[in-house]
Amino acid sequence: MDDLNIRKSGRAGRITFTRPKALNALSHNMALAIHRTLDGWRDDGDVALVIIDAEGERAFCAGGDIAAVYRAGLAGNHALGQRFFADEYRMNAAIADYPKPIVAFMNGFVMGGGVGVGGHASHRIVGDTTQIAMPESGIGLIPDVGGTWLLSRAPGRIGEYLALTGARMGAGDAIHAGFADTYIPEEQWPDLIARLEATGDVALIEGGDAPSAPLRTLDLSPFAKDTVADIIDALEEDGNAQVLKVLAGNSPLSMAAGLAMVRAARDDTRMQDSLAREYRFTHRATQETDFLEGVRAQIIDKDRKPRWMADASPDHVAALLASLGPHELTLEETA
C-alpha cells in the first residue's frame, strides 16, 4: 500500500511508514496491514527480525489518523471508530507479543498511535530528534494503544504527569520513563539497519550515552494527589503556572479518566489488560466523551478553543470504564 513500504531485505522484514507529509499518521488500513504482515512473517524462516522505521525527518508516526472517525461519529456512525480502535489495539498487542525481535527506529514525533507501534517493540531506538508524547487529554481522549501500561511503569509519578499534560520526551527522558531502550545518533541508523538486514542479529545494537533526562529531577509530587482537582491545588500552592496552563486547556474528563487508568494499570500483569480497559473508553468515546469536540478544535477547525462539556465526575469515569459485556476487546492469545 502507498502509506507503507513492506518488504523483505536480507534477514529482515521491513515496515516503513511512507506518508511523511501527514507525519506518517496511522490509518485504519495501515494498522490492519502491519498486523497482517507480522502474522505472515511469524513463521517465515527467512525473517529473523523485523525493522520498523519511517520516511521523512519530522516523524516516525505522529498519531492515529482519526479524521474519518470524527466524521463518522458526527454523523452518528459510532461503529467505524470502534472498529478502528479495536483493530489498532490488536495490532499493538501483536507487536508486544511477537516471538521475533522487532526493532523500531523512532525519529521525530512519536505520539499516540506511533507509541502504539514503536513503544511495544522489543528494541526501541531513539535519537536526537525524537519527541515522544501521549497528548490525548488535549483532544478529549485518553492515553491508549497500550499507553496506560507504559505510563504506569514509569518511575515515580512520571506516568500521571505525562498522562495529564501530554508533555514531550526527548531521547533521555524516553529511556528513563521506559518508552525507549537505546540512544543511537541518527546518522548511524542507516549503517546499523544495513548490518541488521545482513545478519539478523540484534546483538549488534549498541547504544551510546543518552542525552540528559530532565524528568529525573523534576518535582512531580503534586501528581501523587488523589484527584485532578487535588493535583491542581498542589500545583497552585507550588506556583507552577506553566503546568497549570496546560491542564486548564485539556479535557477535564480525559484527565480524570487518564489518571484513573494509569493507576489501575499498575495492577495489570499484561499489557493486554490495559488495552482492554482503554478500549472501554474509546468504544464509547464518540458518544459519551469530549472526543469529537477535541478533534474538532485541534485537528479539524484548528481553532485550539475546545468547549469541554462532558461530565468529569467519578461516577461518569467509572461508567466509561465499566465492562462492555459482549463488546469487550478480544485479543489473540499467542504462545
**Residue 144 is among the residues annotated as catalytic for this protein:** yes
Q: Of the listed 53, 144, 173, 293, which one is catalytic?
A: 144
CA distances from 314 to 90, 260, 275, 319, 324 (A): 29, 9, 21, 9, 18
Q: Of the listed 113, 118, 166, 172, which one is catalytic?
A: 113
User: Which of 66, 10, 78, 4 is CA-nearest to residue 35?
Assistant: 4
User: Which of 99, 67, 101, 96 is CA-nearest to residue 84?
Assistant: 67
* Other Cβ atoms closer than 10 A to 255: 25
Which residue in this structure is represented by grid cell 549498541?
206
CA distance 173 to 218: 11
Q: Of the listed 53, 65, 88, 136, which one is catalytic?
A: 136
**Residue 64 is among the residues annotated as catalytic for this protein:** yes
State phi, psi for 137 to the nearest 5 degrees.
-60, -25
**Residue 136 is among the residues annotated as catalytic for this protein:** yes
Sorted by sequence, the CB contacts under 8 Å of residue 235 that are 6+ apart come out as 222, 243, 244, 247
The DSSP bridge pattern shows strands 4-9 and 12-17 to be antiparallel
- Length, in residues, of the chain: 335
State phi, psi for 121 to the nearest 5 degrees.
-70, 155
User: Which of 72, 36, 48, 128 is CA-nearest to residue 295?
Assistant: 72
CA distance 160 to 263: 8
Residues 28 and 34 sit within 8 Å (Cβ to Cβ): no
Q: Of the listed 13, 53, 63, 64, which one is catalytic?
A: 64
So which residues are the catalytic ones?
Answer: 64, 113, 136, 144
